[in-house]
Structure 1
Amino acid sequence: MSETVLLPAVRQLEMLRAREISVAELAEAHIQQIERLNPQLNAFADFDAERVRTQARVMDKMPVDARGALHGLPVTVKASIATAGYKCEIGSLNHQGEIPREDAVVVERLRAAGALILGTTNCPEFLMAYETDNLLHGRTRNAWDLERTPGGSSGGESAAIAAGMSAAGLGSDSGGSVRVPAHFTGICSLKPTPGRIPGRGHLPPCVGPFSTLGAIGPMARTMADVELMFRTLSGQDDADPASPRVALCEWSAAELRTNRIGFFEDDGLTPVTAETRTAVRAAAAVLRDAGFCVEPFRPQTLEQLRKLWWTLFVQCGAMFFEPEVRGGRENLSPIFREFLAIANKSGLLTATELLNAWAEMDLLRVKTLDEMREFPVLLCPVASVPAWRHGEREWTIDGQTVKYLDAVRYTQWFNTLGAPAAVVPVGHSPEGLPIGVQVAARPFEDEVVLGVAGIVNRAFGFVAPTMAAGS
């Protein structure tokens, strides 16, 4: 059944609706894939095969007119998104064994649409790393190379989906955390405009600057699957002040092509590998062939956006967690201690510095959006490098040393901007590792991102890691 679990989610749903396969049979295929591969990949924080089988049997007995858009689809949820009855420990010994009593709003919607929740997936402690490791559940590995990370902080999700252990899932992103893992594992993802998929119920809450930086986003093997998840789960949460009333949009192919696309291969400061440049050029060529105007363009505000992200995510983030870790520092994972050490080098923010940064974010967003009037869609790299080895922290590219947080700066701009951005796999490195490209647009233009990224995805498609396709 390994071929079935690697099919797109939309195809699995077609099979369920046509009675080509039952929910129980599809669930069993995923259970077998999990039992075969998870001992090596360690993607799950909570998985119980009998619980999944019980849910599947109940779903098979439901009348057809009571079935939702995702009925029977086996999905996973990052262990930082409240899922009632499942461990959601945020990768921390300080939260060991915590099981929410209520679902996050997006998980409520997932269940209402009929999705079959397989379990929750591993993440770095408190989500503050670009690889997935912690003292609670250990290290998650990449199906393309077990010596490499599937990324973070939604690394358990990306590992599970790439390996066919889950058809689709939910991650979260305040600095690239659904996009870097998608790039590292060869899948697709969307960081939506904050609030379009409600964030209430995320752990920790997306409040203060993180209401702009952060968003819950869908992850899957194709953009068609990501779009299905977005359209099914989006919509205002009227109890969340950061969730706007924005109707779903439909763009015809002709309307979509009115969006001029600006592309750039690097940001002028941090180099990328030659294969990354090739991937961006290949995606640009596909979009030109599809009738888009695609021209070189790079906003002038990128470095300002990145510096502001550092202030709000790294420095402010560390301050947010100070009460959380006080008195429990001996339980902290090395990867979270590393984050705190990085933040401490930058120093604590004064109240004036934080207030100025918060105000500057709005001013800088205005300036960037004004620049993007001519090119409302951007095409660029996701990171300087493909998936790195566990614990690796610097690389040499074109004779220049590229350090850990600089390598992934390409995602951070769009968190500061509060803009939607998707990742699709396009190329491969000399080692055979996936390389994705990033498509971004102005806030609330999520459907434009989905449409443009979908065109790129259809041209290149999903390639399964060898271990996922084995029997």
Structure 2
Amino acid sequence: MVYPSPGLVNIEGTFPVMGPDMSHLQSLGPMTRYASDLLPMLKVMVGPNVRKLKHEDNGVDLSKVKIYYMEENGNPLDTNVSPDIKRGIQRVLSHMRQKYGTYTRKVHFDGFRDAFLIWVYFIKQTKISIPEKAANSSRLDVIIDLIKYFLNLSVYTLNLLVINAVLALLPSVDSEFGKKYIRLGREMKQEFKTLLGSDGVFIFPTHPEPAIKHMSTILKLSNVSYTTVFNVLGVPVTTCPLGLNKDGLPIGIQIASNPFNDRLTIAVAQELEKAFGGWVSPSKIVC
């Protein structure tokens, strides 16, 4: 799956509707079974913006790509990253070093530890057009909506109501608490951009756990920061499967880069698919 650089794919008509100043929080891209299909699909979706992909017909020279990585976000309140996923990251690094002599470096972004609250406050300061009852709710409204949901009287999903509750219950964007996380987010964006430059990619777990049960993230809400951090950063990301763990559950990583370096993330994903087999059916009846 590719989450392309914001602005590459037209998001007009999608939900929720972001104000133009925060449209980088939302992006649309192709989801395919095989990495080899990602770039052709993305070229079709970007239309006249295809020149911004900086794609070269002779491909990407992976020996010149630098790889930075983190194995976890550093937040002790989040779920520990599965050892299988950490081993998967190390297999990736070892392969790239042995085959291409790739420069690899473990890094640490302090902002990733607070990525959930940073994302929440970036959302709070947006002008998002969502259903009236789910926007700018008071704390009483939040309680009433949740009660209605559990009585099967709500028109909203539980996911939306939970996020809306978080938005309503936290201090405002103009509070010192809110300003702190807006500032941390901006600092994190600049730090990320400076480190990766024009030839770097960043490898990070897709989620701290292998494939999880539907809706279970609600009970571990801040774990979603493993993906939403890249919404805040406004950068392209390609997710890449690394096979199955010992329990037969899919595991994978994310490959991110600076805006409009989508070709780098896709090229690395294509290489890893060749090296590690790419998508693997989790079941005998799924093919």
Relative to the length of structure 1, the TM-score reads: 0.50
Per-residue CA deviation, residues 350-381 of structure 1 (Å, 9 max, x unaligned), is 49988887676555422321233497211121
Rate the CA distance shift 1:317–1:435 in 2: closer, same or farther, 3 A. farther
Q: Counterparts in 2 of 1:140-289, with a 5 A limit?
A: 189-208=1-20, 210-236=22-48, 246=52, 248-250=54-56, 252=58, 255-269=61-75, 270=78, 271-289=80-98
The amino acid that maps onto 1:468 is V
CA contact (8 A) 2:242 2:251 kept: yes
Q: Counterparts in 2 of 1:2-401, with a 5 A limit?
A: 189-208=1-20, 210-236=22-48, 246=52, 248-250=54-56, 252=58, 255-269=61-75, 270=78, 271-291=80-100, 292-303=102-113, 305-313=115-123, 315-316=124-125, 320-321=129-130, 323=132, 325=134, 330-350=154-174, 361-373=185-197, 376-393=200-217
Per-residue CA deviation, residues 173-214 of structure 1 (Å, 9 max, x unaligned), is xxxxxxxxxxxxxxxx01111011221221232334540111
2: distance between equivalents of 1:258 and 1:355? 39
CA contact (8 A) 2:70 2:108 kept: yes
Rate the CA distance shift 1:311–1:444 in 2: closer, same or farther, 3 A. same
Q: 1:431: how far off? A: 2.3
Say yes or no: does 1:447 pair with 2:263: yes
Say yes or no: does 1:423 pair with 2:235: no
Rate the CA distance shift 1:374–1:197 in 2: closer, same or farther, 3 A. closer
- SS of residue paired to 1:204: coil
CA contact (8 A) 1:209 1:358 kept: no
2: distance between equivalents of 1:312 and 1:439? 22
The amino acid that maps onto 1:273 is S
CA contact (8 A) 2:217 2:223 kept: no
Poorly superposed stretches of 4+, deviation over 6 Å: 351-360
1: distance between equivalents of 2:45 and 2:60? 26
- SS of residue paired to 1:335: helix
Q: 1:331: how far off? A: 2.1
Question: Larger Rg: 1 or 2?
Answer: 1
- Unaligned ranges ≥5, structure 2: 136-140, 146-153
Aligned residues: 266
The amino acid that maps onto 2:280 is V
Rate the CA distance shift 1:256–1:235 in 2: closer, same or farther, 3 A. farther
CA contact (8 A) 2:3 2:236 kept: yes
- C-alpha RMSD of matched pairs (Å): 3.3
Rate the CA distance shift 1:215–1:254 in 2: closer, same or farther, 3 A. closer
Shifted more, 435-444 versus 288-297: the winner is 288-297
Per-residue CA deviation, residues 233-282 of structure 1 (Å, 9 max, x unaligned), is 21457xxxxxx972542174663321210122112224201111111112
Rate the CA distance shift 1:388–1:348 in 2: closer, same or farther, 3 A. same
2: distance between equivalents of 1:428 and 1:383? 14
Q: 1:302: how far off? A: 2.4
The amino acid that maps onto 1:307 is L
- SS of residue paired to 1:220: coil
The amino acid that maps onto 2:55 is C
Per-residue CA deviation, residues 435-470 of structure 1 (Å, 9 max, x unaligned), is 01111111110111111111112222221232223x
1: distance between equivalents of 2:126 and 2:85? 30
CA contact (8 A) 1:422 1:438 kept: yes
Kindly indicate whether structure 1 or structure 2 has the higher relative contact order, using CA contacts under 8 Å at least 6 residues apart.
2
CA contact (8 A) 1:419 1:442 kept: yes
Percent identity (aligned): 21
- Counterpart of 1:406 (choices 222, 226, 242) is 222
The amino acid that maps onto 1:417 is L
Rate the CA distance shift 1:366–1:393 in 2: closer, same or farther, 3 A. closer
Q: 1:344: how far off? A: 2.7
Relative to the length of structure 2, the TM-score reads: 0.78
The amino acid that maps onto 1:225 is D
The amino acid that maps onto 1:382 is T
The amino acid that maps onto 2:274 is R
- Unaligned ranges ≥5, structure 1: 1-188, 238-243, 395-402
What residue in structure 2 maps to residue 462 of structure 1? 279
